[in-house]
């Protein structure tokens, strides 16, 4: 098969796209037929000049900076075209030539005119203005480039999206990115790593730690944030060396910032390096910092340096933001707080959980199993959370049902399913929205309650044609009102240590649908007092279960009664007693002074 691999960026340029494309070319070049003949005849096309890079080391023929006519000839002679990112020229030529083409997405160019999901010049994550139809915001965002360039970027986004929609497949390295792009025939294929021997790194000098950044120098990578942090350390008379590996359009302004801040002695820009030079530079590093401002599509630098055994500091922020620019700052700060909090916990986990002197209780058997798998702890005590069955009960729910539904303009004939949480993607909301589209023949309504940003999910609902059947609410202290408005509770969680709303819904006598990746299903008898999905991404099965509960009111009633009955055993008194016993045992093991 004649395969054309097109990538605008390629070595000697440094970045994730370059690494991935080269890895794909190497991997495919090694595939052989049974007779030893190569399965692919690969031609790699790029717009990156060679410089001092020797293409003879590449696994395939490499053509750099071809003209449009030459590119047309290359497309015509190929059997399949693989494009790294929605590059306009190869996609259009492939479509005109009638050649099947695949787009591997490494960014946000089909949902954001600047491709970064970043609001310029503020440098803060964008809540998704383009997909939400707020085109004026997109034009305002990029206006610093001049109105001609701004309109060009904006119009090309529509074109890229149209061309990508014609692709035989759209490849996303993560399910998260695929959910944002909302393109047809999208498949999630995580990037691979070329595993090699661990780097032998000399112990860094105790008084001069070397901090490294590796990547393309663009706004979204957050190098300016890293430099501002370095200036604070310098002002505190801390000794350090900051190594900036890579190149890009921001390099000149970043170098000027360093010069103006008088940090030339601490910060070194080394530019583009070859593979061996990168390894040699990182062998001196004490840690690698990835201060990304926006969402990392995959985070290849993080994965590669985990493989190298280097400590990592990764600033994670959410792309999902508040609906308007006025409310953007609070949402952004919440996201920073949440991700920083999680990162801090992750850093502590190994130190705490691996210590056999620390007694551990887990809220579910699933959590206990994960602690055993990752930290070798075989002595974890499972103590499920309790539920206030006085507040959450079938009687309390039914007493408030009419008022709760009238408040939200739900009709008696509407079939309402509820999901509650502060991380809607993790709670399985994308799968719920897709399942709802398949239930168009039913009076299905969706109530979503939580403190997450609704912007990307509203855009998804709009795209699926179900936005008018969805209700979005912030959390309140009176959460029982949400359960009272619902007919069933649905949460096909991707990961959840327990799943408290599932337990509360069961206590209220609601049938529940969850997934095996939450903790609470270990206490559910599948098909009796709830449904447990083996795969949280299985939209077809989820839609069938919801439809079955809608069409069989007697099943809803029976399952809800069974759920409320089993929850009566999950009292807070039982939980407190089990914790007290664990504390007494831990105290008895404490060595006497």
Per-residue pLDDT of 357-410, as tens digits, reads: 888 888 888 888 888 888 888 999 999 888 998 889 999 999 999 999 999 999
Between the alpha carbon of residue 475 and those of residues 283, 398, 480, 539, the distances in Å are 48, 20, 11, 26
What integer pLDDT is reported at residue 82 of this predicted model?
95
Q: Is the pLDDT of residue 336 over 90?
A: no
Per-residue pLDDT of 521-551, as tens digits, reads: 877 899 999 999 999 999 999 999 999 999 9
As a whole number, the mean pLDDT across the chain is 84
Stretch 231-236: mean pLDDT: 83
Which of residues 331 and 565 earns the better pLDDT score?
565
What integer pLDDT is reported at residue 358 of this predicted model?
82
Residue 439 per-residue DSSP state: T
**What are the structural domain ranges in the chain?**
2-188, 210-314, 322-347, 394-570
Per-residue pLDDT of 114-128, as tens digits, reads: 887 777 766 666 777
> For residue 376, which of 368, 366, 388 has the smallest C-alpha distance?
368
What integer pLDDT is reported at residue 306 of this predicted model?
55
> pTM to 2 decimals?
0.47
User: Three-state SS string across 546-592, please?
Assistant: HHHHHHCHHHHHHHHHHHHHHHCCCCHHHHHHHHHHHHHHHHHHCCC
Stretch 345-368: mean pLDDT: 78
Is CATH 3.40.50.1980 the right assignment for the domain spanning 2-188? yes
At 16, is the pLDDT very low, low, confident or very high (cuts 50, 70, 90)? Answer: confident
Poorest-pLDDT segment among 49-58, 168-177, 277-286, 534-543: 277-286
3.40.50.920, 3.40.50.2000, 2.170.190.11, 3.50.50.60: CATH of 394-570: 3.40.50.2000
125: β partners: 118
If you count them, how many residues does the chain have?
Answer: 593
Stretch 507-532: mean pLDDT: 91
CA atoms within a 13 Å half-sphere pointing along the CA-CB vector of 321:
24
Poorest-pLDDT segment among 258-267, 298-307, 320-329: 320-329
Assign domain 210-314 to a CATH class. Answer: alpha beta
The per-residue b/e assignment along 310-333, b for 16 or more CB within 10 angstroms, e otherwise, is bebebbbbbbbbbbebeebeebbe
Q: CA 292 to CA 125: how far, in whole Å? A: 10
Q: CA 283 to CA 109: how far, in whole Å? A: 35
287's CB contacts (< 8 A; 6+ apart) are 209, 211, 212, 310, 311, 312, 313
Confirm whether 2-188 and 394-570 share one CATH topology: yes
324's CB contacts (< 8 A; 6+ apart) are none
Q: Is the pLDDT of residue 316 over 80?
A: no
Q: CA 126 to CA 183: how far, in whole Å? A: 19
Instruction: Judge whether 505 and 555 are in contact, CB under 8 Å.
Output: no
């Amino acid at each position: 098969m004649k395969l054309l691999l097109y990538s605008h960026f390629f070595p000697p340029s440094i970045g994730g796209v370059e690494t991935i494309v080269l890895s794909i070319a190497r991997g495919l070049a090694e595939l052989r037929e049974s007779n030893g003949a190569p399965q692919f005849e690969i031609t790699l096309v790029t717009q990156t000049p060679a410089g001092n890079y020797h293409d003879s080391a590449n696994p395939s023929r490499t053509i750099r900076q071809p003209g449009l006519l030459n590119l047309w000839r290359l497309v015509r002679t190929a059997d399949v075209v693989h494009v790294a990112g929605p590059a306009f020229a190869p996609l259009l030529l492939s479509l005109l030539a009638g050649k099947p083409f695949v787009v591997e997405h490494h960014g946000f160019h089909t949902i954001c005119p600047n491709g970064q999901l970043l609001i310029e010049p503020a440098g803060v994550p964008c809540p998704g203005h383009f997909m939400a139809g707020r085109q004026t915001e997109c034009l305002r965002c990029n206006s610093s480039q001049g109105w001609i360039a701004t309109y060009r970027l904006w119009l090309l986004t529509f074109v890229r999206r149209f061309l990508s929609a014609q692709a035989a497949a759209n490849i996303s390295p993560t399910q998260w990115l695929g959910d944002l792009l909302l393109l047809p025939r999208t498949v999630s294929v995580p990037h691979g790593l070329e595993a090699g021997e661990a780097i032998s790194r000399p112990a860094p000098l105790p008084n001069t730690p070397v901090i490294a950044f590796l990547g393309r120098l663009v706004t979204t990578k957050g190098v300016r944030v890293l430099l501002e942090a370095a200036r604070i350390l310098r002002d505190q008379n801390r000794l350090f060396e900051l190594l900036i590996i890579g190149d890009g359009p921001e390099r000149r302004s970043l170098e000027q910032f360093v010069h103006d801040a008088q940090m030339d002695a601490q910060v070194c820009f080394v530019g583009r390096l070859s593979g061996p030079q990168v390894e040699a530079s990182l062998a001196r590093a004490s840690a690698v910092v990835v201060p990304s401002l926006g969402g990392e599509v995959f985070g290849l630098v993080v994965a590669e340096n985990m493989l190298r055994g280097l400590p990592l500091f990764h600033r994670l922020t959410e792309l999902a933001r508040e609906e308007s620019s006025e409310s953007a700052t609070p949402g952004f700060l919440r996201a920073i707080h949440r991700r920083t909090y999680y990162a801090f916990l992750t850093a502590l986990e190994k130190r705490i959980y691996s210590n056999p002197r620390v007694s551990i209780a887990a809220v579910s058997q699933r959590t206990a199993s994960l602690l055993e798998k990752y930290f070798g702890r075989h002595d974890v005590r499972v103590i499920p959370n309790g539920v206030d069955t006085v507040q959450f009960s079938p009687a309390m729910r039914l007493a408030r049902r009419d008022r709760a539904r009238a408040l939200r303009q739900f009709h008696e004939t509407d079939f309402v399913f509820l999901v509650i949480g502060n991380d809607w993607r993790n709670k399985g909301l994308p799968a719920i929205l897709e399942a709802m589209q398949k239930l168009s023949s039913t009076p299905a309504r969706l109530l979503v309650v939580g403190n997450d940003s609704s912007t990307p999910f509203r855009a998804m609902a709009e795209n699926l044609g179900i936005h008018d059947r969805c209700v979005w609410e912030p959390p309140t202290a009176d959460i029982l009102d949400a359960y009272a408005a619902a007919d069933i509770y649905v949460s096909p969680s991707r990961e959840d240590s327990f799943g408290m709303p599932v337990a509360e819904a069961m206590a209220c006598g609601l049938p529940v649908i969850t997934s095996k990746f939450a903790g609470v299903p270990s206490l559910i008898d599948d098909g009796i007092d709830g449904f447990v999905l083996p795969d949280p991404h299985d939209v077809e099965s989820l839609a069938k279960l919801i439809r079955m509960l809608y069409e069989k009111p007697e099943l809803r009633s029976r399952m809800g009664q069974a759920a409320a009955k089993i929850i009566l055993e999950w009292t807070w008194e039982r939980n407190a007693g089990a914790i007290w016993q664990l504390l007494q045992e831990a105290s008895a093991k404490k060595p006497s002074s």
